[in-house]
Chains A and B, each alone.
Chain A
Amino acid sequence: MLFKLENLSHQYSDGTLALDNVSLNFTAGDRIALLGTNGSGKTTLLHHLNGILQPTSGKVYFEDKPLKYDSKSLLNLRKRVGFIFQDPNDQLFAPTVKQDVAFGPLNLGQPPDQVQKVVEEALRTVGMAEYAEKPPHFLSLGQKKRVALAGVLAMQPEVLIMDEPTSNLDPRATSEILHLLLHLNKESKITLLLATHDVDMVPIFANKLFILNKGKLVSEGSPKELFSDAELIRSINLRSPRITHLFEVLKKEDGLPIDEQLPLTIGDARKEILRLLGQQKPSSPRKRKSRVHGS
């Protein structure tokens, strides 16, 4: 088990119970989505994984050892567990892109020429190398989010925790960020955990899904399992992916013989339509450019 939360509760000083007895765990290499409406406790939960918040009750285990909150243990944890904030303006504090990305590695005590190298590499990975000397206020939101990602990647974490990494981004920027994340998971074996309410993105991104509602963990499983239960999803003010909804209507209202397992992504939907048309495989298998279909 990489991370394990045991009966985690968190109450803020104003009395709000943001997390209520949450227990969950996940393994290294997973791509996890934490789904929930605004105010469901997603951010609070994420803040516990990086030691930003301490539980009011319950425990957090990282690699089967309970988290310790002294500064040395926290530094060790944060070296391995990177955190990307929702608003990049919170995270980008340095006057230039390069200085900001260098902040983490310098704190880890790496020598300057090595820092120079990791900074360049991280910026290249997120495609922001030519902006190294620019101050953050010259950048667009999408670019700022990439720089924030580079700042965490430069610390070479094993786990990447992200709070709404694609919120407020245009479709292209969303797709690029998602692609980058999937690439990191595949090539560098980085475990990804992101909080989101973008249900269309979840099936493309995640292999594991946790659903939070009002501070409680309502459900966990693969996106396929959880999105099959349309009633549950609706009862907590979320919705199915658009494409799934369309197939649900086609099945229920129009009586089309659609498979029990409704498609969640464009790719699934394509297969299902071709199956319905009596063609098991696309007649001229065009190699599609691997693109992520966002919302």
Chain B
Amino acid sequence: MSHVNLSAEIDRYAYTNALSKSSPTTKLLFSLALLLLSVMSPSPVVPTIVFLTSTILLVGFAKIPCRFYLNLLWYPLIIVAVSCIIIALFFGNQEPLTEINLLGFRWTIFRDGVTMGFNTFFRVAGAISTQFFLVLTTPMTNILLILRKARIPKVLIETSLLIYRYIFVFIEVMETMHTAQELRLGYSGWLKKIKSTSLLLGNLFIRTLEQGERTFTAMNARGYDGNIRVLEDLPKSSKTALAAIILLAAALTVVAYFTMNIGIV
């Protein structure tokens, strides 16, 4: 269950990286500004700058191990690359670039299609890097506190708060049940695999209901009245950092404007 371990690892880095104590508001603004710039950019130049900035901040400043970061990037980038190849091959209708023979069909590739494919790849890669920056440097709890300040409906925030906490409890429960089933040969064969998985899921569902009941009781015992109150003590954002983000965003907008017509092909 490596994907489970991977998300637990991300969570661990969010709390232990060198930037975890810096203002979450600043980090959120930074990643959102760069995300927008990257996605809206007409050429690959700005996304490349965005990608490099996030990567340098993550590896150089937040001290996230390079290997781990590359490992994370790898999966989404492959999916994006495949999609972009499809865009490059099948989109576009101006300026034929070349013709290929595809299973007996003659297939025309257009210049604007290829440009679109490349641009999309770079935009998405830039965007992904900004989001990895956010999740790898900012503890989930801080993100939720900001959303709370931003007046996102209470029920969503409180639900996310509880989900975030109990997801890790249930990962543990699931792993224990899975091991217990495996030790009694529950996964030796295709049919048994299906049966064991369905049993596991059913049990897990019942466990979540029971856990909910017990947590509710425990919360009541400490005076729960329908409102989850939290202490708001987020690290303050520094004016310099905010100014730097605004300057960077402005500079990138200018760059985007002047590099509008630069394409790979």
A residues at B contact (CB < 8 Å): 50, 52, 71, 74-75, 78-79, 82-83, 85, 87, 89-96, 98-99, 102-104, 106-108, 112, 115-116, 119, 133-138, 151-152, 155
Contacts and interface: CB of A to CB of B under 8 A. Distances in A.
Contact of B225 (A79, A90, A107): A107
A50 B220 CA distance: 10
26 contacts: A71-B225, A74-B220, A75-B225, A85-B218, A90-B218, A91-B218, A93-B165, A93-B218, A94-B228, A95-B140, A96-B139, A99-B141, A99-B231, A102-B231, A104-B222, A104-B223, A108-B223, A112-B231, A116-B231, A116-B233, A119-B231, A133-B15, A135-B139, A135-B140, A136-B165, A151-B222
Nearest to A53: B217
Contact of B221 (A52, A89, A137): A52
B232 interface: yes
Contacts of A90: 211, 214-215, 217-218
A96 B12 CA distance: 13
Contacts of B218: 83, 85, 90-91, 93
B213 to A, nearest CB: 9
Given A52-B220, A99-B230, A104-B223, 13 more contacts: A89-B169, A89-B211, A90-B217, A91-B215, A95-B164, A95-B165, A99-B231, A107-B229, A108-B223, A112-B231, A135-B140, A137-B165, A151-B222
Nearest to A85: B218
B144 interface: yes
A95 B161 contact: yes
B214 A85 contact: yes
B219 interface: yes
A107 B221 contact: no
Contacts of A87: 214
B257 interface: no
A248 B215 CA distance: 44
A95 B228 contact: no
Contacts of A103: 219, 222, 224, 228-229
A79 B165 contact: no
Nearest to B161: A95
Interface in B199-247: 211, 214-215, 217-225, 228-233
A198 to B, nearest CB: 22
A78 B223 contact: yes
Contacts of B224: 103, 107
B225 A115 contact: no
Contacts of B231: 98-99, 102, 106, 112, 115-116, 119
Contacts of A95: 140-141, 144, 161, 164-165
A102 B165 CA distance: 16
B230 A106 contact: yes
A52 B217 contact: yes
A79 to B, nearest CB: 7
A137 B169 contact: yes
Contacts of B139: 96, 133, 135
A75 B223 contact: yes
Contacts of A136: 165
Contacts of B166: 93
Contacts of A50: 221
B168 interface: yes
Interface centre among B161, B166, B230 (most CB of A within 10 A): B230
Q: Which 5 A-B pairs have the closest CB atoms?
A: A107-B223, A137-B168, A106-B229, A104-B222, A95-B141
A27 to B, nearest CB: 23
A203 B232 CA distance: 44
A34 to B, nearest CB: 17
Interface string B103-132: 000000000000000000000000000000
Contact of B15 (A104, A116, A138, A152): A138
B215 A79 contact: no
Contacts of A106: 229-231
Contacts of B223: 75, 78-79, 104, 107-108, 155
B251 interface: no
